[in-house]
Amino acid sequence: MSEDFGEMRQTIVQLLSHMRDGKEIREYLKRFSGLKQERFAVVKVGGAIIRDELDSLAAALAFLQSVGLSPIVVHGGGPQLDTALSEAGIETERVDGLRVTRETSIPVIRQTLTTANLAIVDAIRAAGGQAASIPTGVFEAELVNEAALGRVGEPSNIHLDLVAAAARAGQAPVLTCLGETADGRLVNINADSAVRALVHALQPYKIVFLTGTGGLLDSDGDIISSINLATDFEDLLKADWVSGGMQLKIEEIKRLLDDLPLTSSVSITKPAELTRELFTHAGAGTLVRKGERILEVDSMAALDQTRLDGLVSAAFGRPTTPGYWDGLALERAFVTENYRAAALTTRLGELIYLDKFAVLDEARGEGLGRAVWHRLVEYAPQLLWRSRTDNPVNGFYFDQCQGAMRRDEWTVFWRGDLDPAAISPLIDEVFSRPATLEPPR
């Protein structure tokens, strides 16, 4: 970040304090402050967002500007192009999802995308942010199939000088999906292809797709909070409720992440939820990551106890009490293959009790905790657990629970269709259990 890091931190604390706790904010500030500005995030914006949610988009991007963060914005303009071409008397053609771009379409496409680009830039500035219009000069491209598709290009080289200069100057670079061939011909580039080429060149920490739905939807029309491609990809492609369009999107995201570091992820959210997605562990929308396999075992013998103990101690900042592991009657454990997140359960009468939910700080931004939690609640829709009342993760727990009760230093949470009166003896038992972590020093 810039030299005014302290001032930026104060701005973040003031503007985001209502969203979560200070620890969360500090964690993300620490991560983002160590990145070159152009490697912070790439944000893909569709034409429908420009048409329907421009003010929300501009406000979110201006907020990021206010704390010294300049994501790279790549936008399309599908609805705008359909309208402009129709008004020009040019029929819209598509082959395998790609817009056929005849010679006569190029002036209309250039004007329409440039207008959309300037609309984003002007809106960001009106919202108090800084932005730089970069309609061309970034994507060098080769024609895909001129006979069939006309002037449609696939990125062959990325020129980052303009992008880096804008980002380091504190301006959000705003790019269109236009490229140029080696001999100077303007070409139309599919938005997903443009984003993929830019992402592979930059290796950004965050990749965000802004959509009207705010995420990928499950069979009930609800947003899927997280997708761990290492464990979920094949099952999703086989699911009968996954539409062709959603399947293509999941495959495109997997292709996007395949050559990126394990820490990279793709977030799908709404413009109004962008800051929550970037700065909180719970996020807002769908987080897709390459992921790690999640081990599901019912015996401590199947786990590396030394690594597991190290994970728990590091996640909570203090060691387990003597004899904790010997006395743990494990019912089921969900542990990522690199021991960076885990959920450990035992039996409590007829219910499942979550004894430990541990996630390393470095893994929270990757969505590993969300992936483990998802597996846990799939297995145990009715669940009891407790947390110290000052635990910064309690905001997440309150989001996930159906009820909670506080006594002194502990809060007991439950999830599922449970009658508090009926489970009162179990709640009392949870409150009375001795601490399993050494006291803070």
Average pLDDT, the chain: 86
* Per-residue pLDDT, 276: 76
User: How far is residue 428 from each of residues 314, 412, 421, 433, measured CA to CA in Å?
Assistant: 29, 9, 11, 9
Report, as an integer, the average pLDDT of 229-255.
83
Structure tokens at 300: 């401590």
How do residues 176-203 score in pLDDT, each as one tens digit?
999 999 999 999 998 888 999 999 998 8
Confidence of residue 272 (pLDDT cuts 50, 70, 90): confident
d(CA 45, CA 52): 12
Q: Shortest CA distance to 319 belongs to which of 435, 425, 427, 415?
A: 435
What are the two backbone dihedrals, phi and then psi, of residue 56, each rounded to the nearest 5 degrees? -65, -40
- 320 DSSP 8-state letter: B
d(CA 101, CA 135): 18
Q: Shortest CA distance to 276 belongs to which of 11, 46, 17?
A: 17
d(CA 357, CA 244): 36
Report, as an integer, the average pLDDT of 305-330.
95
Q: Detail the DSSP E strand segments found in 255-299.
A: 265-269, 286-289, 294-297
* Per-residue pLDDT, 259: 78
For 231, how many CA atoms within 13 A lie in the half-sphere containing its CB? Answer: 18
* Per-residue pLDDT, 38: 61
* Per-residue pLDDT, 1: 36
How do residues 371-387 score in pLDDT, each as one tens digit?
899 899 999 999 999 99
d(CA 94, CA 149): 8
The DSSP-derived string for 1-55 is --S-HHHHHHHHHHHHTTTS-HHHHHHHHHHHHTS-GGGSEEEEE-HHHHHH-HH
Report, as an integer, the average pLDDT of 133-160.
92
Percent residues over pLDDT 70 in the chain: 89
Give me the residue label for tokens 């701005």: 11
3-state secondary structure of 262: coil
How do residues 351-368 score in pLDDT, each as one tens digit?
999 999 999 987 766 667
* Per-residue pLDDT, 25: 55
Confidence of residue 219 (pLDDT cuts 50, 70, 90): confident
Question: Exposed, middle or buried, 2 (CB in 10 Å: 0-12/13-18/19+)?
Answer: exposed
pLDDT above 70: residue 145: yes
Structure tokens at 333: 């454990």
98 pairs with which residues across the strands? 95
* Per-residue pLDDT, 69: 77
Lowest mean pLDDT among 258-262, 398-402, 428-432: 258-262
pLDDT above 90: residue 330: yes
Confidence of residue 23 (pLDDT cuts 50, 70, 90): low
Percent residues over pLDDT 90 in the chain: 52
* Per-residue pLDDT, 282: 60
* Per-residue pLDDT, 331: 97
d(CA 438, CA 441): 9
Assess contact for 292 and 368: CB atoms under 8 A. Answer: yes
Who has greater pLDDT, 98 or 155? 155
pLDDT above 90: residue 94: no
How do residues 306-317 score in pLDDT, each as one tens digit?
999 999 999 999
